[in-house]
Amino acid sequence: MIGTILEANPFLGRIITGRIESGTLKSNQAVKVLHHDGTQVETGRISKILAFRGLERQPIDEAQAGDIV
């Protein structure tokens, strides 16, 4: 997934919006943040996945390649 928008939410914490390029993304999955050259910046865990349904964000259990979350 390439993150395009980074937001801060006092309730949810950091929210990253982007398009999943390949594979799937599930809640509670471990993730790594990488620089463009492939070096690791930090690690984290997905707490909630919010997909766009029209102009609103709806919680989903799993996102697949091509989804904007």
Domains of the chain: 2-64 (2.40.30.10)
- What percentage of the chain has pLDDT greater than the value 90? 55
- Using the predicted structure, report yes or no on whether residue 27 has a pLDDT greater than 90: yes
Where residue 2 falls among pLDDT bands split at 50, 70, 90?
A: confident
The span from the CA of 23 to the CA of 42, in Å, is 20
Average pLDDT of the segment spanning 25-49 = 91
- What percentage of the chain has pLDDT greater than the value 70? 100
pLDDT of residue 69: 92
pTM of the model: 0.78
Q: Using CB atoms within 10 A of its CB, is residue 69 exposed (0-12), middle (13-18) or buried (19+)?
A: buried
Average pLDDT of the segment spanning 35-48 = 90
